[in-house]
Structure 1
Amino acid sequence: MNGFLAYLAAVEGDDERCVRHVDEALASGVAGTRWTLWARGMLDLGHGRVEAALSRLEPMAGGHHVAETRCVPDLVEAAVRLGAPDRAAGAFTRYREWARYTRQPWAEALVLRCRALLEDSEEHFTAALKLEGRPFEQARTALLYGEWLRRMRRKADARTHLRTALETFERLEAAPWAGRARAELSATGSAAPAAPAPGVLARLTPQELQIVRLAAQGLSNRDIAAQLFLSPRTVGYHLYKAYPKLGVASRGELGTIAL
């Protein structure tokens, strides 16, 4: 039970509660360890710590326990974001076979989402959203599709899916995922339902603001790049452009600004 509660806390982005339930699950014996690994991986993925998420999920994904099976779509997302889709290939093959056996629309929707990421395919995104899915996972698919559309410079189309995702995440109190959807909406030039950037932050472009906020949270350039589907070099360039606008000289000084 504590392992499952740790996963729910991870979805909400509650680090303290997640770690507490993880510790309690581990203290109770081996039975909860798979859930705790998934929970910690999910917590990392939600907060944009993509490399850490992949390291946690890769060794466990593709097994027969429910957590080992259900974590595969999270593994696929982390692997694709880091530009290492092959690290999820074997687990996804087994997951696809499992989904075919279960014949559940929500499972097939996750297969389609994984294929959309692995094959860079709009067709699979739209097919996944047509199937009846579980609200949190359906919102994640809408978010990923919205991110994909923005990268294709189809900002108006992206906003529709990003707003849908944001509404669901806020209803489910999935704070890190809502924050990601809000940031993506801002990057499309849309006024997301959040306070506008105050003062000095208004000098930044939407992408610079996105990157600076992630950097201020302690994410590395590589993790930021993975979250935003950019190269680490591009992230470094945007930070280099943002620092003079903010009146800071380095990443370590970002904590002095209200972001």
Structure 2
Amino acid sequence: MHFANRAGDFQAARDLSLAAAAECRAAGELRRLVRVHLGLAEAEIHLGRFSDAAATATEGLHLIGKTDKPNRAGCMEGMLAWIAAVQGDAERCAELAAASLGHFEDNHIANGLAWTQWALALLDLVQGRFTEALDRFDAAMTGPVRYQTQSIFFAPDQVEAAARLDLPADEPLRRFQSWAEASGHDWADAVLHRCSALLEPGWDRAHDHFRAAVRLHAHSGGPWEAARTRLVFGERLRRERHRSEARTHLRAALETFERLGARPWAERARTELRAAGEVGSSPSASAGHLTTLSPQELQIVRLAAAGLTNRQIGAQLFLSPKTVSYHLYRAFPKLNVTSRAQLLALGLT
């Protein structure tokens, strides 16, 4: 599963991790389950399943407390910090980042450090602090993070920060390009086209790159990256006075960001939509029901929707049936349901 993540085959990594997690739960192998959760949470992040990833990493931290493997906590906290950055929760991102950095000082495991530095840079990026974001990425590449796979995956964000400042980004572009071409994944080619478009001053060539990226995203999955591409494409279209086409891409980006709970990115898309002449682009009342749940509530609700009893859910998550019942009691009003049967209509898988 970890190799599949390194190779960018995140769906395979998730499938393998879920199967391994089921085996670990059945056998009560907590230490192995912690390792599985690291790979599962990473795959879910890259697949744009942020609520799932938060639930997985949160359970991972809970499991770490039951084992003697505290050195893995920094990785879980780093991934949770990354999700908090996407959600625009700066306070939680900073809190988790500090905890992760503290674990790095104790054990010098660079994987957690990589996620943490990426999280802080991503928060800077979405809040318009492009110089600070670029400085964080540059600093990361002078230390142990440069040897981590995350240095490949955060290269597109590094390119965007540089492009916002009209600075060259030859090194991060080459870093991602060499990996993307070797991987053979359509999603990676799509992101590579987006990076090229961001750095291309000429409109015609940039337009070709953007269109290629959107086309590849359409059949390669990955809602997060697709929405990121649609957002920057829409921004460029608006600047080039193609407002009608800009609104099409910006609406698609906004819908996805709202569904993923990526609030600052949704607000950025909404602002661009208004600038492109859109009216009535207020937050969707129905968007992001699942984002109102805590990570543990989401896990429990999904298992309940699959037909498991409170006792069976408790056995899976190492919780008491009473605790499971309490979380369901809190979750149902958030989802506007009153019974387990109604959970099936929410598309919880």
Distance (whole Å) between structure 2 residues aligned to residue 7 and residue 183 of structure 1: 23
Q: Which residue of 2 aligns with 1:80?
A: 163
User: 1:149–1:155: 8 Å Cα contact kept in structure 2?
Assistant: yes
Q: Which residue of 2 aligns with 1:50?
A: 130
Distance (whole Å) between structure 1 residues aligned to residue 222 and residue 146 of structure 2: 22
1:16 is aligned to 2:16: no
Shift, 1:192, TM fit: 4.2
**Helix, strand or coil at the partner of 1:59:** helix
Q: Which amino acid counterpart does residue 254 of structure 2 have in structure 1?
A: L
User: 1:145–1:158: 8 Å Cα contact kept in structure 2?
Assistant: yes
Distance (whole Å) between structure 1 residues aligned to residue 164 and residue 228 of structure 2: 14
For 1:102-117, list aligned pairs within 5 A.
102-117=183-198
* TM-score (structure 1 length as normaliser): 0.72
For 1:234-245, list aligned pairs within 5 A.
none
Distance (whole Å) between structure 2 residues aligned to residue 99 and residue 114 of structure 1: 12
Q: Which residue of 2 aligns with 1:173?
A: 261
Cα RMSD for the two superposed structures? 1.5
Q: Which residue of 2 aligns with 1:190?
A: 278
Q: Which residue of 2 aligns with 1:240?
A: none
Shift, 1:155, TM fit: 0.4
Distance (whole Å) between structure 2 residues aligned to residue 53 and residue 92 of structure 1: 16
Distance (whole Å) between structure 2 residues aligned to residue 134 and residue 192 of structure 1: 27
Distance (whole Å) between structure 2 residues aligned to residue 192 and residue 68 of structure 1: 39
**Helix, strand or coil at the partner of 1:190:** coil
Distance (whole Å) between structure 2 residues aligned to residue 10 and residue 67 of structure 1: 16
Distance (whole Å) between structure 2 residues aligned to residue 54 and residue 124 of structure 1: 23
Given the superposition, is the C-alpha separation of residues 5 and 12 from structure 1 closer, same or farther in structure 2, using an over 3 Å criterion?
same
Structure 1 residue ranges (4+ consecutive) displaced by more than 6 angstroms after TM superposition? none
1:118 is aligned to 2:199: yes
Distance (whole Å) between structure 2 residues aligned to residue 41 and residue 125 of structure 1: 24
> Rg: which structure is higher?
2
Distance (whole Å) between structure 2 residues aligned to residue 137 and residue 92 of structure 1: 16
Q: Which residue of 2 aligns with 1:37?
A: 117
User: 2:181–2:189: 8 Å Cα contact kept in structure 1?
Assistant: yes
Shift, 1:166, TM fit: 0.2
Shift, 1:133, TM fit: 4.2
Distance (whole Å) between structure 1 residues aligned to residue 113 and residue 180 of structure 2: 24
Distance (whole Å) between structure 1 residues aligned to residue 223 and residue 253 of structure 2: 9
Residue ranges of structure 2 left out of the alignment (5+ in a row):
1-75, 284-349
Distance (whole Å) between structure 2 residues aligned to residue 193 and residue 150 of structure 1: 16
Q: Which residue of 1 aligns with 2:306?
A: none
**Helix, strand or coil at the partner of 1:43:** helix
**Helix, strand or coil at the partner of 1:90:** helix
User: 1:182–1:192: 8 Å Cα contact kept in structure 2?
Assistant: no
**Helix, strand or coil at the partner of 2:115:** helix
Shift, 1:42, TM fit: 0.3
Per-residue CA deviations over 1:115-155 (Å, capped at 9, x if unaligned) read 11112411010101111241111101000000010001010
Residue ranges of structure 1 left out of the alignment (5+ in a row):
196-259
* TM-score (structure 2 length as normaliser): 0.54
Distance (whole Å) between structure 2 residues aligned to residue 159 and residue 38 of structure 1: 30
User: 1:105–1:133: 8 Å Cα contact kept in structure 2?
Assistant: no
Q: Which residue of 2 aligns with 1:201?
A: none
User: 2:85–2:93: 8 Å Cα contact kept in structure 1?
Assistant: yes
Q: Which residue of 1 aligns with 2:341?
A: none
Given the superposition, is the C-alpha separation of residues 25 and 133 from structure 1 closer, same or farther in structure 2, using an over 3 Å criterion?
same
Distance (whole Å) between structure 2 residues aligned to residue 12 and residue 155 of structure 1: 28
For 1:203-218, list aligned pairs within 5 A.
none
User: 1:45–1:78: 8 Å Cα contact kept in structure 2?
Assistant: yes
Distance (whole Å) between structure 2 residues aligned to residue 192 and residue 9 of structure 1: 28
Shift, 1:59, TM fit: 2.9
Q: Which amino acid counterpart does residue 82 of structure 2 have in structure 1?
A: Y
Distance (whole Å) between structure 2 residues aligned to residue 73 and residue 166 of structure 1: 20
Residue among 150, 159, 176 paired with 1:67 = 150
Distance (whole Å) between structure 2 residues aligned to residue 133 and residue 168 of structure 1: 12
Q: Which amino acid counterpart does residue 14 of structure 1 have in structure 2?
A: D
Distance (whole Å) between structure 1 residues aligned to residue 161 and residue 221 of structure 2: 21
Given the superposition, is the C-alpha separation of residues 115 and 192 from structure 1 closer, same or farther in structure 2, using an over 3 Å criterion?
farther
Identity of aligned residues (%): 47
Residue among 179, 197, 208 paired with 1:98 = 179
Shift, 1:63, TM fit: 2.9
Given the superposition, is the C-alpha separation of residues 98 and 139 from structure 1 closer, same or farther in structure 2, using an over 3 Å criterion?
same
